[in-house]
Amino acid sequence: MTSILRTPQRVPTSSARLRQVVVISVICLALYCFLLVPDHSLDSSRSTIVDTFPQSHPHQSNTDTNPKSSPAWISKHPPSLLNNRHLSTSQCASAFPGLTHEISLQVSKGPFTLPRRPHDLGPLIARIRNNQLSILSYARKSDLSAEMLQHRSATLYQLATALLTAPADEPLPDTILAINHEDDPISPSLSYSRPADPTYDSSTKRYFAMPHFSQYSWPSPTIHSLPHAARLITSIESSLPWPSKSPRALWRGTTWFNHPRAGRQRQALVSASRGKPWADIEALNANGSNAVPIWDFCRHRYIVHTEGLTYSGRFHFHQLCASVVLSPPVAWMQHLTHLVKPVFSASLPGVARARQKTSEEPELELAQQYPAPWVQSAWPRSYDPERDANILFVAPDWSDLESTIEWLERHPRIAEGIARRQRELFDGGGYFSGAAETCYWRALIRGWSEVVRVDENAFDDLEEIPWEEFSLKEIHK
C-alpha cells in the first residue's frame, strides 16, 4: 500500500498579516478609550456638570500653582441652583460654605436690647410676623435724598423676596428688625458694613451686615445692578484672556471722600500715579465724563480699590473680575468680605516703599504705618501669593503701589493666579447669586431674632403698615 503523507495547509501570508493588524488596532482602541478619553464620556450615568453641592470649593487652598493647568470654573454651580431662591437651610450651607460667618460673629456676642428711638430719623423699624413683612417706623421721604430712598426700597425688596421664597417647612421666626439704610453703620441694626478695627467693633456693638442694595438695583448708568453687571463681566472675562488685558492700573473716584483716619488718601493716590505709564488713575470730572462703567474695570489686570467715609459700594463688583485688586487693608467688612485672602505687598520680595516726606498731620502719619496695629488684628495673616491669595494689600499711602505693580508684571503667572482665584471664588462660587442672597437674608433674620430682646410694649403705639402698601407709597406718594 502506498503511504500518502499529507502536509498541513498553510495560512496565506496576507491573512496572517490582516489578523495582526486587527489585533493591534483593537489594542490601540482600548488604550485610547481608557487612557485618553475623559472618564465622564465613558459613563453615561455620570454628569459632565459638577455636582450641585460639591465636596470641594474654590476658596479652599489649591496646590496647583499653574493657572492654566486646570479648568477655570471647575466648582461653578449650575444656573438651576444659582437662580433657586427656595433653598433649604441645609442646601444653603452646602452650596455656599462660610456664607453666614458675619452673622455667627454677631450672634456669638450674646443677647442685646433693641431700643425704641425717640425720633424717626434712625433706622427703619420693621416687623416680621407669620412670614409677612410690615413697617413700624421710618424716615419721611422729605428727610431723605433720592439715593437714600432708592437704597432703602431696594433693601426692603430684598428682604420681602427672602420671606416670600422661604421654604414652607422652614418658617422664619417672628421678630422686630432695625434696618439702617445709611452708609455709616449703627448699633444695633442691620447695616451694609461694620468696622474691621476691633476698637470700633467692640463686644457691645451689634452690626449685622446685610447684602448690598445693588443686588436688587442701583439705578446708575454705569452700574444698573449687580446681576446686570455680572452678566456683562462674564461676557468680558470669557473673551479677554489675561495677556490681552490692559496692564495699566485703573481707578476713578472723588478725591474728597476720605475717612478722617485715612488722611488725604485719595488725593495721595492721584498724586502718586500722575504721569505714570502704569496708571489709568483719575479723579472723576464734575460732569462724570471720564467715568468708567463698572464692568469695564475687568478689562484691566489691576484695579485700585479705595474706601471712603465707610465701605465702598464698588468692592463686590471688582470681586467678580479676574483682575488683581490692589487696596490698602480693607477697613470695612461687608457681608462677604471675610472671604478675602490678602497677601501684603510688604511680604513680596523686592517690593519697596518709596521714601515719603514726613507729614505734620497725625492722621496721615497713622495712615503711613503699614501694617497699622488695627490691621494686624483685623487681618492677621498674609496668604501665599502662589496658592491662596485672592487680593493684594498695599501701603495706605501708596508708597509701594508702583513697586508692587512692577513686581506683578515680572511675575505674570502669580498675578494671574491671584486674579483667577478671586473670580473663581466670588463668581464661580456663586456668592453674589440670587440663591446666596436669599440664603443669607433668611439666616440673618434667624440670627438676629436669636439674640435680640424686644419690649413689645415700646412699639405698640406705632402704626403697622403692610410692606405691599408701604412699597406703593414709596413710589407714588
> Is cis: bond before 329, omega within 30 of 0?
no
Residues 246 and 300: beta-carbon distance below 8 Å: yes
Question: Position of cell 502719619?
Answer: 365
Look at residue 70 in the predicted model and tell me its pLDDT.
36
> Is cis: bond before 371, omega within 30 of 0?
yes
C-alpha cell belonging to residue 28: 490601540
Greatest alpha-carbon pair distance for the chain in Å reads: 135
Question: Position of cell 450651607?
Answer: 93
Q: Domains (ranges, CATH) in the chain?
A: 89-211+432-476 (no CATH), 229-334+337-426 (3.40.50)
| pTM for the structure as a whole | 0.82
Dihedral sign of CA atoms 391, 398, 230, 474 in order? positive
Instruction: State which amino acid sits at residue 219.
Output: P
Look at residue 256 in the predicted model and tell me its pLDDT.
84
Tens digit of each residue's pLDDT, the chain (477 residues):
433 333 344 444 455 555 564 555 545 444 444 333 333 322 222 222 222 233 333 333 333 334 343 334 444 799 999 999 999 999 999 999 999 999 999 999 999 999 887 666 689 999 999 999 999 999 988 889 999 999 999 999 999 999 999 999 999 999 999 999 999 999 999 999 999 999 899 999 999 999 999 999 999 999 999 999 999 999 999 999 999 999 999 999 999 877 767 778 999 999 999 999 999 999 999 999 999 999 999 999 999 999 988 999 999 999 999 999 999 999 999 999 999 999 999 999 999 888 655 444 544 444 557 889 999 999 999 999 999 999 999 999 999 999 999 999 999 999 999 999 999 999 999 999 999 999 999 999 999 999 999 987 888 889 999 999 999 987 655
Instruction: Give the β-pairing of 465-466 and 132-137.
Output: antiparallel
Write a three-state SS string for 277-308.
Answer: CCEEEEECCCCCCCCCCHHHHHHECEEECCCC
Give the DSSP H/E element, type plus range, for residue 126: strand 124-129
Look at residue 48 in the predicted model and tell me its pLDDT.
26
**Contacts (Cβ under 8 Å, ≥6 apart) of 136:** 125, 126, 127, 176, 459, 462, 463, 464, 465
Look at residue 368 in the predicted model and tell me its pLDDT.
58
Look at residue 259 in the predicted model and tell me its pLDDT.
74
Dihedral sign of CA atoms 153, 154, 155, 161 in order? positive
